[in-house]
Structure 1
Amino acid sequence: MEGLYCSEAPACSEGPLAPEDSKMLEDERVLNNLLQLQPFTIPSQNYFKHIQHDVQPFMRKVVTKWMLEVCEEQGCEEQVFAVAVNFVDRFLCVCVVQRSQLQLLAAVCLLLASKLRQCQPLAVKLLSCYTDFSVSQQEIKAWELLVISKLGWDLSPITAFDFVDHLICRVPCLSRHPADIRKFATGFLAQAITEPEFMMMEPAALAVASIASAVQPSIPMHEWNAALTTMAAAVNLDPIALHPIIPQIEMVVERDAMVLPTVPYQSHEPLTPTNKQQAPEPMDIFDGNKTPTEVTDIHF
């Protein structure tokens, strides 16, 4: 029985998660499967132009920043945020919503992503509390099945985070300090995911560009060029085509860093609405409209 014991610490608890499996990371078949599957869960269109009339790009930025803050304060695994944003984008591609329903959608997507990508899901009551109770627990539960059905029950998207470890281990100058490189790269990547301009980009391309942006100041230029070429070749991309994306990500990170708190978040226990250091501020994009209480208020 001892051989069946899982020592992996669940998310939202003390202790590290299970380490990466080097066999999986070095196996080309795994990376090829990721590349083959990624097109199926990329948002199918720019919904701001063709679907949504009340939701604007800046509103997506606000709601995804709120989602990121919730995930950080609750110590969620990094995939929870990326998967939740993917759910939001894909839902908005097929279903018209009002701006007053956007935070409700975000809370439901966080709930679903946490159920799928970490051991301990976020509580419905907790998510309602993070909305300053503008979204009720009943609304979140009512919308859960709606979101799943609109996503076609396809709840295992390939995200840019899936590629990070595979890319780092393939570049010698990056694999010397993989933990440090990974920390900065995933931070850049999380900020990029909040930007509407990157929502339809291939996850592999976004992962390469984020890693390249994160390591550019810390390694010589010839090593940086070699690393970019190696990573791009690993995911069948042209490195020249990635050059315009890299400064865009750097601008996003620089701009967001100007508004971050001066005291970094540090804690040895998961934060809750009663002990968190700084709660995500209620989103001010709804013009005072109250979230509808009926699922039928969506315009199909």
Structure 2
Amino acid sequence: MELLLVNKLKWNLAATTPHDFIEHFLSKMPVAEENKQIIRKHAQTFVALCATDVKFISNPPSMVAAGSVVAAVQGLHLESAGGSLSYHCLAHFLSKVIKCDPDCLRACQEQIEALLESSLRQARQSLDPKAAEEEEEEEEQEEVDLSCTPTDVRDVSI
């Protein structure tokens, strides 16, 4: 998919971003135009969010775009009655379009959803500091309970 795009761009590699793929994917999807608009907005938001995290730098732009589109469709609950827009069908379809393993695409989509969840949690914590303290205490309690070594390595001073 990337080779096709760079050939169209006459090998101007600086121009290839995940945003370049979203419209192409939407044009191939059997979705009503009003649904395409909202999927486009959500996918663009996910792509912008991915640009802030170093985990996505190793993924090709087409994979980030496809993962963002799948995450948008799943998050918006736009699955059609015929099943042509179901999560699994869409992930499989887009993995064929970008020529990648469907499991890799699902993993990318799950990373995008995890990034969104952590970003929303951070935003919530910045708006409500008291709730943030309570969440941190819960996480610390869980960390203490998770130690399974005889000597907790966090207690060792080197």
Whether these two folds match at TM > 0.5 is yes
In structure 1, the residue matched to 2:78 is 219
In structure 1, the residue matched to 2:106 is 243
Q: What CA distance in whole angstroms lies between the structure 2 residues aligned with 1:245 and 1:31?
A: 17
Unaligned regions of 5+ residues in structure 1, if any?
Answer: 1-29, 41-153, 262-300
| Number of residue pairs aligned between Structure 1 and Structure 2 | 119
In structure 2, the residue matched to 1:34 is 5
Percent identity of equivalent pairs? 24
- The 8 Å contact of residues 174 and 181 in structure 1, kept in 2 or not, is answered as no
Matches within 5 A, 1:73-84: none
- The 8 Å contact of residues 49 and 116 in structure 2, kept in 1 or not, is answered as yes
Unaligned regions of 5+ residues in structure 2, if any?
Answer: 125-158
Give the alignment's TM-score, normalised by structure 1: 0.35
Q: What CA distance in whole angstroms lies between the structure 1 residues aligned with 2:111 and 2:37?
A: 24
Change in CA separation of 1:175 and 1:229 when aligned onto 2, cut-off 3 Å = farther
Matches within 5 A, 1:1-300: 33-34=4-5, 156-173=14-31, 177-217=35-75, 218-220=77-79, 222=83, 223-260=86-123
Higher RCO structure, 1 or 2 (CA under 8 Å, sep 6+)? 1
- The 8 Å contact of residues 168 and 175 in structure 1, kept in 2 or not, is answered as no
- Cα deviations across residues 146-197 of structure 1 (Å, max 9, x unaligned)? xxxxxxxx67330011000000111113756111000111111111111111
**Shift of residue 251, structure 1, vs aligned partner:** 0.9
Q: Give me the CA root mean square deviation.
A: 3.1
Give the alignment's TM-score, normalised by structure 2: 0.63
Q: What CA distance in whole angstroms lies between the structure 1 residues aligned with 2:100 and 2:33?
A: 21
Runs of 4 or more above 6 Å deviation:
none
Q: What CA distance in whole angstroms lies between the structure 2 residues aligned with 1:175 and 1:231?
A: 19
Change in CA separation of 1:236 and 1:176 when aligned onto 2, cut-off 3 Å = farther
Change in CA separation of 1:202 and 1:166 when aligned onto 2, cut-off 3 Å = same
When you count helix as a share of all residues, which structure comes out higher?
A: 2
Change in CA separation of 1:250 and 1:199 when aligned onto 2, cut-off 3 Å = same
**Shift of residue 35, structure 1, vs aligned partner:** 5.9
- Cα deviations across residues 219-272 of structure 1 (Å, max 9, x unaligned)? 3395121112222212222212212221111010111123348xxxxxxxxxxx
